[in-house]
């Protein structure tokens, strides 16, 4: 168990809908990262928050947004869902910011999103 908790584990929804994925980082970790994993794309970085502030963005669609709350949990909001958004969404957390070798990212078990 990595200590990173993601809910829900599975989500099935229809095109055009909006969903929220939740992540609780490991105790003491201030950074939260969101990744998307699909069969043809591998693990792709979406966005990072550090202590409530957005720090970096990857190839995140405008339909997607995230935030980190004062208690450090994070939510990833996906709207106007399309079939191609079906994927595994992972949250990772780390103690610090920056992705240097000393800042190990620990991953949650993921949320499997199926858009029908």
Residue with smaller CB distance to other proteins, 70 or 100: 100
Give, as ranges, the residues between 97 and 116 that touch other proteins (CB under 8 A).
Answer: 97-110, 112
Residue with smaller CB distance to other proteins, 4 or 66: 4
For residue 2, give the nearest of 70, 114, 93, 116 by alpha carbon: 93
Buried b (16+ CB within 10 A) or exposed e, 105-116: bbebebbebebe
Give, as ranges, the residues between 3 and 62 that touch other proteins (CB under 8 A).
Answer: 4, 6, 33, 42-43, 45, 48, 55-56, 58
For residue 94, give the nearest of 86, 105, 102, 80 by alpha carbon: 105
Which of 90, 93, 113, 115 touches other proteins by CB under 8 A? Answer: 90
- Interface with other proteins includes 64 (CB under 8 A)? no
- The count of residues interacting with other proteins (CB under 8 A) is 29
Measure the CA–CA gap between 16 and 75, rounded to whole angstroms.
19
Measure the CA–CA gap between 7 and 12, rounded to whole angstroms.
13
Binding site for other proteins (CB under 8 A): 2, 4, 6, 33, 42-43, 45, 48, 55-56, 58, 88, 90, 92, 97-110, 112
């Amino acid at each position: 168990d990595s200590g990173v908790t993601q809910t829900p584990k599975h989500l099935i929804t229809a095109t055009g809908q909006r969903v929220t994925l939740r992540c609780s980082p490991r105790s003491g970790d201030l950074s939260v990262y969101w990744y998307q994993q699909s069969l043809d794309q591998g693990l792709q970085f979406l966005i990072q928050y550090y202590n409530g502030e957005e720090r970096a963005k990857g190839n995140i669609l405008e339909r997607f947004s995230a935030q980190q709350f004062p208690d450090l949990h994070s939510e990833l909001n996906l709207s106007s869902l399309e079939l191609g958004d079906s994927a595994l969404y992972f949250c990772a957390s780390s103690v610090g910011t920056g992705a240097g070798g000393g800042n190990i990212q620990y991953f949650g078990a993921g949320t499997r999103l199926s858009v029908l």
